Amino acid sequence: MKWITHLSGIAACVMFLGASTSTPVFRLAHPTGLNFILQNSPTPQKYLIETMPGGIALLDYNNDGLPDIFLVNGGQISSPMRTPENFSRRNPKYWNRLYRQNKDGSFTDVTQAAGLASIGDGNYGMGVAVGDYDNDGYPDMFVTNYGKNVLYHNNGNGTFRDVTAKAGVAGGGWSASAGFFDYDNDGKLDLFVTRYLDWDIELSKACGAKKDTYCQPGEFGGVTNLLYHNRGDGTFEDVSVKSGIAAMKGHALGVAFADYDGDGFTDIFVANDVVEQFLFHNNGNGTFSEHALDTGVALSSDGKMLSGMGVVFQDYDNDGLPDVIVTQLPRGLYPVFHNEGKGVFLDKTLTSGFGMLSGSVSGWGIGLEDFDNDGWKDVFITQSHVIDNVEKLDSGLRYLQPPLLALNHEGRFEKADVGNDTPVAGRGAAFADINNDGKVDVVTTVLGGPPEVFMNRERSTNHWITICLEGTRSNRDGLGARIKVNGQVRFTTTSGSYLSSSDKRQHFGLGRATQANIEIVWPSGIHQRLDHVEVDRILRVQEPKQ
C-alpha cells in the first residue's frame, strides 16, 4: 500500500517565498561606464552553448586596490550555425570586456588598451579563472571557451599578452569553469579546467516534442576535465591522464577547491550536470582519486543525480571544515553536503534550510560570503532555468528568476530581501568588496543583458576584516591557504561559483568582536599567527620565510 498523492500530476508552480527581512541587503547599482551586454545569440535551432555563458571575474588587475571587472562574452551564432563557425569575435559587440574601476566608483572600458580585444576565431566565450601563475604580483586570466581556451599574462603595466601557445593550455572542446590552485604545494599555481559535453555543430540537435527546446545533457557524451601542472617557466604540462583526473568522464560545469580532509593538499569538487558529482581527493603525490560516492557527495539525499551547475566549497557552519553546496535545476533542492570530518559528508540540505529555498528554482553562480558581517557566511545564488521556453514544457516553472539571498543564522539559511526581485536569466556570479567599505558586493551576469551589480548597503555596525595574502614560499596569491579568524575558517580561493572568479581577498564578518585573532596555514605548511589584530580594515599578510 502507498500513500496516494491527492493532486497527482500537478507540477509545482514557481513560488518565490516571501523575504524574511524587511531591509534589502543590496542595492542594484548601475555604475557609470559598465556598458556590457552578454551576447549569447539565441537561435531557433537551440544550440546548447547559447544558454550557458557567461563568466565574470572580480580582480584587481592593476593593483590599485580597487577591484575591476572582467566579463566574458558569448559570440554571434549563425542561424543555422556554419561549419566552421567563427562566432564573429572580432566584432567589438562580441568582445570580452575589462572594466577598470575608477576612484569614484565608475568604470572605464580598457579592453582594447589592455590587449584583450582578441579572443581568436572559433571561440564562443564561457568562463574565466584568475590567478598569478608566474608569481609576479599581477593577476593573470584564463578564459574558457567553446573552442580554444586563452591564457592572458598580466604584463603589470595595464596590458595583457596572450600566452596560450607558449603555455600549452589551449585545450579544446567545450570548456566551462576553470580555476587556479596549487595541487602539489610547489608554490606555483596549477590550472584545472572543466569540460561540459561532447558537443559540436554536427552532434547538435534540438529536443522536445516539437524540437523547439534545448536538449538534456544526457543526449550528449561525457568528456574529461583537464589538469595542467605549472612548470614555473611559463609553460604548463597537461597531467590530466597521469594525475588520474582524466579517468572520469562527466558533464562538468562548476569547480571549487578546498582541503576537505585536512591533509594539507587541495582537493577538487566538480559539479556535474546529470551525472554523479566528482570529488577528486588529492593523494599528495601528484595523483587524484575520485571519492564522491564513498564520501557522500555524489548524489542527492535520495540517491538521485544532480544537475550540478555551480558550486561553493567553504565552511558554512563554522566548524572549521569546508562544506559543499551545489546549485542545480528545479525539482531538486540545492544540496548542502556537510563535512563531518574523517572524509565523510552528510546531506544537510533540509536542516540547513535549503528545503525552503530551492525546489522550483534553478541555480547557477553561488557564493558563501558574510554579507551582514555577523560571523556567519550567507549564500547568494544567481537563478534562471536553462531552457528559455520552459514555461511551455512545465507551466509551474519560470525561465527568468530573481537571484536568491539567504542569510545564515547559526547554520540555518533564511531567505532575505536581495534588493531586486526582477527576474532575469542569471548565470555567473563573482564576489568582492568592490568599494572597500567592509561589505561584500556581488556582480552577476545575465544572458542577453547587462551585468547586475549588487552593492551591499547592510547597515549593521558589525565588524569585519579582509585579508589579502602574499605568499613567499607558497604561491604569491596564497591560494590554498587556510585562514582562521576568531574561529571562522575560509579556504583561500578565487574559484567556485559558475564560470566565474572572485576577489582573492578573503573577507570575514566579525559580529561584535573588536579584535581579530588570525591563524593562517599556508600551502607551504607554514603556520602563522596574528593576535589582537585591529578590525574593520583590509589586512595584507605576507607569508613568513620560515
Partner 1 sequence: MTTIFLTLLLFAQAAPSRVDTDTHATAEAIQQHQPDSAIAQFKQAIAQTPNDPAPYIGLGETYMRTSNFAEAIAPLKHALELNPDLPPVHRQLGYALLAQGYAAEAIPHLDRSKDRAALGIAEIETNHFAEAVTNLQAALSEKPNDPDLIYYLGRASQMLANDSNERLLAQFPQSARAHQLKAENCSRFHEMQEAETEFRAALAARANLPGIHLELGELYAQNSKLVQAEQEFREERRIRPGSAEAAYRLGQVLLQQGKARDAVNELNESNDLMPNMPETLQVLGKAAFLSGDKTLAEKSWTQLLSLESEGPLATQTHFDLASLYRSEGKKQEAEMHMQQFQKVRGAKR
Residues forming contacts to partner 1 in the complex (CB under 8 A) are 1-3, 5-7, 9-13, 15, 17, 222, 248-250, 275-276, 293-296, 299, 301-303, 340, 342, 344, 346-348, 350-353, 355-356, 359-360, 395-396, 412
Least distance between partner 1 and beta carbon 8 (Å)? 9
Q: Smaller CB distance to partner 1: residue 14 or 256?
A: 14
CA distance 372 to 377: 9
Q: Smaller CB distance to partner 1: residue 165 or 350?
A: 350
Least distance between partner 1 and beta carbon 298 (Å)? 9
Q: Smaller CB distance to partner 1: residue 330 or 367?
A: 330
Q: In b/e form, how buried is each residue of 255-277, taking b as 16+ CB within 10 angstroms?
A: bbbbbbbeeebbbbbbbbbbbbb
Least distance between partner 1 and beta carbon 312 (Å)? 19
Least distance between partner 1 and beta carbon 509 (Å)? 23
Least distance between partner 1 and beta carbon 409 (Å)? 12
- Pick from 136, 135, 134, 252: nearest CA to 192: 252
Per DSSP, the residues of 302-338 read: TS---B---EEEE-SSSSSS-EEEE---TTS---EEE
User: For residue 326, with 0-12 CB atoms within 10 Å meaning exposed, 13-18 middle and 19 or more buried, which class applies?
Assistant: buried
Query: What nine digits make up the cell of 96?
Result: 570580452
Q: Smaller CB distance to partner 1: residue 249 or 484?
A: 249
Q: Smaller CB distance to partner 1: residue 13 or 113?
A: 13
Which residue type sits at 349? Answer: T
Least distance between partner 1 and beta carbon 248 (Å)? 7
Q: Classify the C-alpha dihedral 119-121-122-124 as positive or negative.
A: positive
Least distance between partner 1 and beta carbon 399 (Å)? 16
Which residue type sits at 471? Answer: G
- Pick from 419, 445, 482, 105: nearest CA to 258: 482
CA distance 4 to 478: 55
Contact assessment for residue 357 and residue 332, using Cβ atoms and an 8 Å cutoff: no
Q: Smaller CB distance to partner 1: residue 101 or 272?
A: 272
Q: Smaller CB distance to partner 1: residue 347 or 543?
A: 347
Least distance between partner 1 and beta carbon 350 (Å)? 5
Q: Classify the C-alpha dihedral 295-298-300-302 as positive or negative.
A: negative
Angle at 160 between CA 54 and CA 224, to 5 degrees: 45
Q: What's CA 495's distance to the chain center, in Å?
A: 5
Q: Smaller CB distance to partner 1: residue 138 or 345?
A: 345
Least distance between partner 1 and beta carbon 379 (Å)? 15
* Beta carbons within 10 angstroms of residue 193's beta carbon: 26
- Compute the CA torsion angle 327, 477, 228, 112 (nearest 10 deg): 80
Q: Smaller CB distance to partner 1: residue 248 or 429?
A: 248
